[in-house]
Structure 1
Amino acid sequence: MNSRYIGYMCCALAMVGVGSTVVVSKSIAAGLPPFSATALRFAIAFPLFVLIMRWRGVRWPRLDRRDAALVVAQAAAGSVGYTVLLISGMKLASAGDAGVIAGTLPAVSAVVAMLALGERPSPALLGAIGLATAGVLACTVRPGESAVPHAGSSSILGNALVFAAIVCEALFILLNRKLRTPVAPLPLSALMCGVGFAVSIVPACFERAWSMSLDAGALSGVLYYALVPTVAGFVLWYEGAARVSGAEAGLTTALVPVSALALAALLLHEPVSAAQLAGVACVLGAVTLATFGQTRSTRKAA
């Protein structure tokens, strides 16, 4: 099989895994407190990343105090903040809505870079931001819907928590760009899991999850989250990204909202609304514009 097709397949599978985190977080939220689930996720994934590092002969990076502080901030925002807010949001929001919101990450990252670094966006990025905003509004703003959820409904508060999780992931991307010592993806992923566990374990102890009745579905969800989207997703993404261009890999992020919406319908039996389909269409357009806008900016800089 052609190497590029293998690359497309690996990146696509990785993004389907990311989309599935929205659905699996629904079952986790029903049976475990958010910090406890987050700490357990990293406790499972961290030793696996360490084993992969040893297998590949990858060493830990040497960081100065400034970069070490940035890594801790990255883990607090992109690892702990993202997971805790996503799980908390999934107690209130529908998985379909959350999947559409998760797909806005490229546009949200562009906005964060504009606000924090003063970057001037290209017309394509401005269009992506506008489309992503329209996609979120299509799923969130519904006439007559209360912020407090009722049975079977989505929630404005839940969607807001999911969007806050995406902002945390965008902050992770921004902080990674601020590192003076570049860290390779594999040790960075291991660091995020290790530091993420250290950050989440203290608030997890206050949740006293061990005093609750164990929920098999929630525990299985955490195990899946740690093994498939976290560890296997890393391997698939970087294996695929090594075979295709950055723009081609970036376009596969469009599969996040599509897979989340499809899995929510198939596994959770959530109805797919016209508003959600409109939101997905807007987000797909936003991903396309953001990817090509970034590619053009890179070419101009070169």
Structure 2
Amino acid sequence: MSKQVQGYFYLALAMLTVGSTVIASKLIAAGLPPFTATALRFALALPVIFLLMRASGVRLPKLSRHDRLILFVQAGAGSVGYTTLLISGLSLTSAADAGVIIGTLPVVSAAISILLLRERPRRALLFAVGLASAGVFSIAFTPEAAGGSLAGNALIFLAVVCEGLFILLNKRLTADIPPLVQSTLMTGIGFVVSLIPAVFEAPLAHGFSPGAIAAVVYYALVPTVGGFLLWYAGAERVSGTEASLFTALAPVSAVMLAFTILGEPVGLNQIAGIACVLAAVFGLAFASSRTEQKFIEGR
């Protein structure tokens, strides 16, 4: 097996784990409060990631006050905000609908860059935003088709916005932080941030569902730790453009897993929605690769 094919295999598995977080979050939502589940997820993942960091020999670079603030906000938005909103949204809507909405992340991230960084939008990006919006609208306003709700879909979209902010803020860091170190920091800070509101949820009073606990353990060890290792193992074997294309597999795997594991119906609205989202992501990636190629040829 060639190095490139190995990269494709690892990236595909990584995105399969990302899609499975939707299923895990659906199970968690039925048996645990969102902040409690989030704190437990980070508590389980942190020792494993920390040991991986120590084993690899990487060290935490000296961080400025600016970077420390950025990391704190990143953890609050991308780690805690994303997870709690995802779990909260899935207590109201279907995993299939959530999978479609989560697939808009690359397009939402690009749109946030336009709004907050005042980047000039390209025609391809505007077209991708339109396609992705059509995909979301195809399921957002027909929630009864698969047991969803408009409120739940809105919470899922807010989770995507939080993750988009995480990506945007990562561009504002001045220090070069190795991925494994940053993952450790996000997990540690996320644990502290989620622990405080988790106390007010009084988790002991709610009781614990064995299925929800099992889903949290899975979320902590497989997507959080395993997904990280798979993604970077694959990303180092292929180009950045090739790696970005594999993010389109996450919503596909989420919808398919919702059908096979949870037994949720997948209707024409989900199929149309995921087709629009995939077209938007692939179109945006293709336009980016064309721009990059022209830049290289012009040098």
Q: 1:202 is matched by which residue type in structure 2?
A: I
**Which of 151, 168, 174 is matched with 2:162 structurally?**
168
Deviation at 1:122, TM superposition (A): 1.8
**Residue in 1 aligned with 2:138?**
138
Deviation at 1:297, TM superposition (A): 4.2
**Which of 201, 209, 220 is matched with 1:215 structurally?**
209
**Which of 244, 257, 260 is matched with 2:254 structurally?**
260
Q: 2:83 is matched by which residue type in structure 1?
A: T
Hey, what's the Cα distance between the residues in 2 that align with 1:42 and 1:105?
Answer: 22
Deviation at 1:211, TM superposition (A): 2.4
User: Scaled by the length of structure 1, what TM-score is found?
Assistant: 0.95
Taking structure 1 as reference, are residues 295 and 121 closer, same or farther at Cα in structure 2, changes over 3 Å only?
A: farther
Superposed, which structure 2 residues align to 1:32-71 within 5 Å? 32-71=32-71
Deviation at 1:162, TM superposition (A): 0.3
Deviation at 1:214, TM superposition (A): 1.6
Match status 1:284 vs 2:278 = yes
Deviation at 1:254, TM superposition (A): 1.1
Q: Give the fraction of aligned pairs with identical amino acids, expressed as a percent.
A: 56
Deviation at 1:213, TM superposition (A): 2.1
Match status 1:28 vs 2:28 = yes
Please tell me whether the aligned partners of residues 13 and 236 of structure 1 are also in contact (alpha carbons under 8 angstroms). yes
Hey, what's the Cα distance between the residues in 1 that align with 2:11 and 2:151?
Answer: 32
**Residue in 2 aligned with 1:153?**
147
Q: Secondary structure at the match of 1:283?
A: helix
User: Scaled by the length of structure 2, what TM-score is found?
Assistant: 0.96
Hey, what's the Cα distance between the residues in 1 that align with 2:172 and 2:117?
Answer: 10
Hey, what's the Cα distance between the residues in 1 that align with 2:18 and 2:47?
Answer: 21
Q: Secondary structure at the match of 2:30?
A: helix
Hey, what's the Cα distance between the residues in 1 that align with 2:127 and 2:203?
Answer: 44
* 1:29-64 deviation per Cα after TM superposition (whole angstroms, max 9, x unaligned): 000000000000111111111100111101012111
Deviation at 1:124, TM superposition (A): 1.7
Please tell me whether the aligned partners of residues 28 and 217 of structure 1 are also in contact (alpha carbons under 8 angstroms). yes
Deviation at 1:291, TM superposition (A): 1.6
Superposed, which structure 2 residues align to 1:124-135 within 5 Å? 124-135=124-135
Hey, what's the Cα distance between the residues in 2 that align with 1:67 and 1:229?
Answer: 26
**Residue in 2 aligned with 1:230?**
224
* Long gaps (5+) in structure 1: none
Deviation at 1:121, TM superposition (A): 2.1
Hey, what's the Cα distance between the residues in 1 that align with 2:284 and 2:23?
Answer: 25
Q: 1:81 is matched by which residue type in structure 2?
A: G
Give the alignment's Cα RMSD to 1 decimal.
Answer: 1.4
**Residue in 1 aligned with 2:174?**
180
* 1:46-92 deviation per Cα after TM superposition (whole angstroms, max 9, x unaligned): 11111001111010121110110000000000000000000000001
**Which of 286, 289, 294 is matched with 2:288 structurally?**
294
